[in-house]
């Protein structure tokens, strides 16, 4: 189907006529108020024949009509095409407590803190979530919604990358993070509501106990996948030699396992970037839910056709004008030569 996207622009078609009739007539001896290229000048009867003036007026009117037609955005709409829609609703909750700055993780052989490693691996995970709705929650002393469920993966990735440790406190409110995620999931029946919760500690803050948050998640059919972040062994040099200790001794694996198991999810342990990457690859296998199909109509823009034709007419008119000027100059020069010889 052919149509104009902005058909109301055709209202300006008579604009040149309005200027012609409304502007005061040019009085003898006055300078022209508006200068136009001579090749589009209609001229007067003393310099051009009446038919030549009408031709130029017709060409100028056609060029104006073509430009207005191009501005009105002509387009061709194809037949409606039904596109099936499927995806997941994934809410990602990231711990920003003080312990996340411990640099017991590695990326390409370089020691980094836990949050940097989380951002590094999550960036690729978010990029692959084509068709999924993503949300982002940051939690420490309490939980804050940074991004509601959205298809805009770039924004979610940017907000995660801008997160810093201590932004929302130093403690760990796991229960608040779960409660906020459950609250933000909408009533879309075909959605598989999934919360991916990353933490390196235990619940030490917040207004909602993890046990109560777990009950809310079960009641609202929210599946929780928990990820415990942090190395299990790190070697440090001291005055008494090298000693080994566990930097993740505060990680409440029992709670994280219970949260995941009770909601139909799974608990993962991420001791390094490679394990974290493997976890996200496993989460990629979550079966997407078939959603309501979308109907789209292919659109082909055609504005360039009248625009190219208008440009071609202007160019042709310029060429004809220059040719006539050259021919006239040649005739006058030849006449002058003949008069000199005579």
Q: pLDDT tens across 38-71, in order? A: 444 444 444 445 666 677 778 888 888 999 999 9
Q: SS3 for 331?
A: helix
Phi, psi dihedrals of residue 301, rounded to the nearest 5°: -75, 135
State both tokens at 71. 């501005």
Domains in the chain with CATH codes: 2-77+300-341 (no CATH), 83-290 (3.40.50.410)
Q: pLDDT tens across 149-200, in order? A: 888 999 999 999 999 988 788 899 999 999 999 998 865 555 678 999 999 8
Q: pLDDT tens across 245-273, in order? A: 566 777 888 999 999 999 999 998 887 77
pTM: predicted TM-score of the whole model, two decimal places: 0.60
d(CA 44, CA 28): 13
Between CA 104 and CA 112, with CA 106 as vertex, the angle to 5 degrees is: 65
Q: SS3 for 250?
A: coil
Contact of 111 with 103, CB cutoff 8 Å:
yes
Confidence tier at 329 by pLDDT (50, 70, 90): confident
**How many residues are there in the chain?**
342
- In the prediction, which pLDDT does 226 show? 92
d(CA 251, CA 183): 26
- In the prediction, which pLDDT does 181 show? 93
**What DSSP element (H or E) covers 276?**
helix 273-283
Contact of 199 with 172, CB cutoff 8 Å:
yes
State both tokens at 126. 């978010």
Q: Which of 111-125, 170-184, 227-241, 323-337 has the lowest mean pLDDT?
A: 227-241
Report DSSP state, residue 329.
Answer: H
Q: How far is CA 288 from CA 68, 82, 248, 277, in A?
A: 48, 19, 34, 20
Contact of 197 with 224, CB cutoff 8 Å:
yes
Q: SS3 for 48?
A: coil
Q: For 140-160, what is the HEC assignment?
A: CCCEEEEEEEECCHHHHHHHH
Contact of 261 with 267, CB cutoff 8 Å:
yes
């Amino acid at each position: 189907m052919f149509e104009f996207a902005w058909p109301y622009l055709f209202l300006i078609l008579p604009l040149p006529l309005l200027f012609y009739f409304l502007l005061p007539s040019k009085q003898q001896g006055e300078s022209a108020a508006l200068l136009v290229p001579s090749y589009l000048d209609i001229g007067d009867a003393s310099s051009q024949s009446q038919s030549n003036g009408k031709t130029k007026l017709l060409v100028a009117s056609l060029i104006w009509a073509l430009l207005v037609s191009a501005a009105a955005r002509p387009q061709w709409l194809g037949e409606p095409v039904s596109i099936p829609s499927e995806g997941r609703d994934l809410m990602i909750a990231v711990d920003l407590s003080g312990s996340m700055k411990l640099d017991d993780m590695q990326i390409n052989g370089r020691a980094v803190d836990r949050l940097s490693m989380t951002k590094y691996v999550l960036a690729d995970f978010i990029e692959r979530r084509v068709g999924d709705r993503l949300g982002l929650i940051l939690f420490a002393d309490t939980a804050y919604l940074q991004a509601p469920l959205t298809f805009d993966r770039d924004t979610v990735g940017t907000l995660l990358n801008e997160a810093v440790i201590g932004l929302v406190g130093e403690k760990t409110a796991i229960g608040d993070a779960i409660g906020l995620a459950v609250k933000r999931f909408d009533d879309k029946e075909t959605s598989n509501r999934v919360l991916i919760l990353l933490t390196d500690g235990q619940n030490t803050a917040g207004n909602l106990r993890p046990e109560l948050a777990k009950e809310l998640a079960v009641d609202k059919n929210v599946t929780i996948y928990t990820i415990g972040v942090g190395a299990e062994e790190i070697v440090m040099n001291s005055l008494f030699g090298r000693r080994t200790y566990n930097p993740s001794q505060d990680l409440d694996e029992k709670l994280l396992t219970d949260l995941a198991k009770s909601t139909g999810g799974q608990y993962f342990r991420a001791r390094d970037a490679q394990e974290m990457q493997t976890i996200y690859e496993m989460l990629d296998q979550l079966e997407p839910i078939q959603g309501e199909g979308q109907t789209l109509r292919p659109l082909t823009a055609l504005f360039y056709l009248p625009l190219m034709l208008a440009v071609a007419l202007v160019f042709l008119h310029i060429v004809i004008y220059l040719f006539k000027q050259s021919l006239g100059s040649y005739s006058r020069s030849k006449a002058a030569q003949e008069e000199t010889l005579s």
